[in-house]
Each structure stands twice: as structure tokens, then as C-alpha cells.
Amino acid sequence: MAEGERPLRADAERNRRALLDAAEAAFSERGLDVGVAEIAQRAGVGRGTVFRRFPSKEHLIAAIVVDRMADATARGRALLDAPDAGEGLFAFLSDMVARRQSDRALFDAIADTFLSNTEIRAAQAELVEVLDALVSRAQDSGAVRADVGALDVLMLIKGLCEAIGPFQAIDPNIGERHLDLMRAALSSAAGAQPLRGRTPTVEDFDRAFPARGASQPDKAGA
């Protein structure tokens, strides 16, 4: 939506990149509660510049998270061509868990409150679209039970990532172990006894995480 934006001045663009890089490095090393002062210093800019380039610390985090989600979405899209539809879906899930290991802090950001961020929501919508295609394809091939939806699966991934938590650092195999459990839950064999309730919709999601506004460029298009 925010496509028509005049490019930043050269130094501003350079600062933006430096801040993103510094923030990403700092967050990966020490978690999301590193101060903006340190990030600014690592980026070689003044403290005020952080808030000139990003409306808030949360938006700075969101910008990085959005990048990460776009990566995952691209990976999922590529897997739509996998010869075995079921394996395509599970390769995607496995990939998500692996990504989490490399930067836990960023994944933590997706939990709860950050989902209300407009930009993150847009990125997530694309990811859900691809996930939906992967799931449908796996269901058509008979590998996955018919009564789950893409948002069920997304919730399972989120749960898995949260569940293994710091454990992943102790036992690198814990991820694949719980992926096996997830596989069992999703298998068409397990579909013999159907799930209660109904699969969540994106509308449900919108109600659960009411948007909180982001960097809307003022009012109307310039």
C-alpha cells in the first residue's frame, strides 16, 4: 500500500540501513530488550535518528520481522513445486523451525502484541496465502487430514516455536522431534476422529489482533 514514497536522501537511506543492520545484529545477540541507545551507537548515528527513521522501537523491530517473513514466504512458494505435496508442506514447516533457531529474538516478536502491527499483518497475510496453498495441495494428495486449515497449521508452528524455546540451544534435535509429533497430528490417518470446532479464518484473526496503526503516510496520497 505504501508504494508511492519519494526516496530518502542519500544519508538518510544510509542511516536507515545502518540502523536495520545494527538492530538485527544486536537483537540476535542479546534479545529484543537492547536499548535504542546501543543500537544507535552501533549504527554510528545519534539517538534521535532512530525515531526519525522509525516511528518507534516497535516499528524498527517490525521492519526486520517483515523481511524475515518475506524470506519464509518465498521459500514456501518455491516448495509449491515439490514432487511430493506432503513433503513440500513439511519441508516448509521444518524450514520455519530452522529459521527460528538462527534468530530467536525476532520470532518472539511475532508473539501476541506485535501481530497488531499493520506491516507485519500484511506480510503475514502473504505467508498465510502460500501456506494455504501448501496445505490444500497436501490434502489433495491424501497426505494431510482434510479438516485442518492454514491458520490451524500456522498456530501449530507458532506453538512449536514457543514450546521448544531455549531448549533448541541445548538439544538441536528437539525441533525435528516435535515436528514429528506435529506430523502425526496432521496425518490423514489421524483424521479418522475429526476435530471439534472449526478452522480459524483470517477474519477471526483480525478480531483477535485488532490493528493498532502503523506508519500510514499522513492522510491521503500526495
Residue ranges in contact with a copy of itself by CB under 8 A: 108, 111-112, 148, 152, 155-156, 158-167, 169-171, 173-174, 176-178, 180-182, 184-187, 189-190, 193, 195-198, 200, 204-205, 207-209
Quote the CA–CA distance of 37 and 219 in Å, as a whole number. 31
Asked if 52 is part of the footprint of DNA (rule: CB under 7 A), the reply reads yes
Length of the chain: 222
Asked if 8 is part of the footprint of DNA (rule: CB under 7 A), the reply reads yes
45 binds, among a copy of itself, DNA, none (CB under 5 to 8 A by kind): DNA
The span of 7-15, 65-73, 86-94, 147-155 binding DNA (CB under 7 A) equals 7-15
Asked if 50 is part of the footprint of DNA (rule: CB under 7 A), the reply reads yes
Q: Closer to a copy of itself at the Cβ: 40 or 134?
A: 134
Q: Annotate each residue in 26-45 with x if it binds DNA (CB under 7 A) or - if it does not, as one string.
A: -------xxxxx-------x
Q: How many CB atoms lie within 10 A of CB 6?
A: 6
Quote the CA–CA distance of 213 and 116 in Å, as a whole number. 8
Q: Give least dist CB 190 to a copy of itself, A.
A: 4
> 128 near 151, Cβ under 8 Å?
yes
Separation of CA 121 from chain center:
9
> 106 near 68, Cβ under 8 Å?
yes
Asked if 117 is part of the footprint of DNA (rule: CB under 7 A), the reply reads no
Closest C-alpha to 115, from 155, 144, 175:
155
* DSSP classification of residue 80: G
Q: Give least dist CB 26 to a copy of itself, A.
A: 18
- The residues, any chain, with a CB within 8 Å of residue 160's CB and separated by 6 or more, are 97, 175, 178, 179, 182
Q: Annotate each residue in 70-99 with x if it binds DNA (CB under 7 A) or - if it does not, as one string.
A: ------------------------------
